[in-house]
Homo-oligomer: A and B are copies of this chain.
Amino acid sequence: MRDRLHTVAVVGLGLIGSSIARGARTYGLAENLVAVDREPAVLERVRALRLADHATGSLAEGVAGADLVILCVPVGAIGAVAAELAPHLKPGAILSDVGSVKGSVVAAVMPHLKSDNAFVPAHPVAGTEYSGPDSGFATLFQNRWCILTPPEGTEPEAVAAVTAFWEGLGAIVETMSPEHHDLVLAITSHVPHLIAYNIVGTAADLETVTQSEVIKFSAGGFRDFTRIAASDPTMWRDVFLTNKDAVLEMLGRFNEDLAALTKAIRWGDGDALFDLFSRTRAIRKGIVAMGQETAEADFGRARPDGTGAGR
């Protein structure tokens, strides 16, 4: 298996792509690492940071000798990039990606693929609010899930090779259908981003409360939302355009629940409020227990004098 991964090409050296490159180097997952990016400014940083053995702006050149090609571009661009590079993949090469949406990606990529290349779609559920080649780091995927959604009939060896690669980066690999992936991520990632973007926009547009007041008094809860509302706009625009159905479905549920909660506030139904506010603690405990979140108060944000809180 391992000899198939002599050469790994990463296409798109943003936060995720550059983290994969750093991780592949740190954990020895590729003999030869190729970075492909269309942006001259990104290529320059890739070279300065020595993120790959070879860096090029040419897709054809970059993927030609690769055993594994990982597309780390916004999901809206994956189809076009796949169309352009597919003819240049060598026989037996595996194509993968890191897109946050899987149904539309499978549909956009598969028609371009030659029969002797496998496509193993992947989604590492990890990231930060920063973008670009300088923001990545080798441990980004440690103890994070990576979801694979191989189309039916995908060569098992190809799935095994991609699984081994992600496990090498420290991720836990799980396999599911593209449709189920898109539903799960709609509630655990897409709708949370949408309502974070939305409330930050609402706060910015108020005329009764100034922007300066919103900023000053943000420690009451608002600032937590601004982190994910600072994520890459292009990536997130594409997520909502390509996972429309699942997002609208989950947003419908969210709105129904919010309407019930609004009614409880309007009618002064303290028991209904208390009941929900008590239930929600259990979910966080589960997330902390599973190692997907810190138990430190306030996410462990640094304190002025370094003293710690209880718990």
**Which residues of A pack against B, CB within 8 Å?**
76, 100, 125-130, 132, 134-140, 142-145, 147, 170, 174, 183-185, 187-206, 208-209, 211, 213-231, 233-234, 236-238, 240-241, 244, 247-248, 250-251, 253-255, 257-258, 261-262, 265-266, 268, 270, 273-274, 276-287, 290, 292-294, 296-305, 307-311
7 closest pairs, A vs B, by CB? A189-B220, A233-B277, A128-B297, A299-B299, A226-B284, A192-B221, A134-B310
- Given A283-B214, A298-B128, A301-B299, A251 and B257 contact (CB-CB distance below 8 Å): no
Q: Contacts A140-B309, A200-B283 known; list 9 others, CB within 8 Å.
A: A130-B309, A184-B214, A185-B220, A188-B221, A192-B222, A215-B290, A226-B280, A237-B274, A293-B301
Q: Is the CB of A214 within 8 A of B188?
A: yes
CA distance A308 to B247 in the complex (A): 33
* Main DSSP-derived SS at the A contact region: helix
Which of B125, B194, B228, B250 is the one whose CB lies under 8 Å from A224? B228
Q: Is the CB of A184 within 8 A of B209?
A: yes
Nearest B residue to A262, CB-CB: B251
**Shortest Cβ distance from A292 into chain B, in angstroms?**
5
Within the oligomer, what is the number of copies of this chain? 2
> Which residues of B lie under 8 Å from residue A139 when comparing CB positions?
303-305, 307
**Shortest Cβ distance from A164 into chain B, in angstroms?**
19
**Shortest Cβ distance from A104 into chain B, in angstroms?**
12
Nearest B residue to A239, CB-CB: B273
CA distance A231 to B136 in the complex (A): 32
CA distance A132 to B233 in the complex (A): 40
- Given A139-B307, A283-B214, A187 and B206 contact (CB-CB distance below 8 Å): yes
Q: Is the CB of B286 within 8 A of A215?
A: yes
Interface centre among A100, A187, A229, A262 (most CB of B within 10 A): A187
CA distance A228 to B268 in the complex (A): 22
Which of B188, B203, B204, B218 is the one whose CB lies under 8 Å from A222? B188
Q: Is the CB of A204 within 8 A of B299?
A: no
CA distance A120 to B139 in the complex (A): 50
CA distance A95 to B197 in the complex (A): 40
- Given A220-B189, A226-B283, A265-B241, A299 and B297 contact (CB-CB distance below 8 Å): no
Q: Is the CB of A142 within 8 A of B305?
A: yes
- Given A130-B311, A223-B287, A279-B204, A254 and B199 contact (CB-CB distance below 8 Å): yes
Q: Is the CB of B268 within 8 A of A241?
A: yes
Nearest B residue to A189, CB-CB: B220
**Shortest Cβ distance from A253 into chain B, in angstroms?**
5
Which of B134, B183, B286, B309 is the one whose CB lies under 8 Å from A211? B286
- Given A199-B254, A226-B283, A230-B284, A138 and B221 contact (CB-CB distance below 8 Å): no
Q: Is the CB of B215 within 8 A of A135?
A: no
- Given A206-B187, A224-B224, A254-B198, A135 and B280 contact (CB-CB distance below 8 Å): no
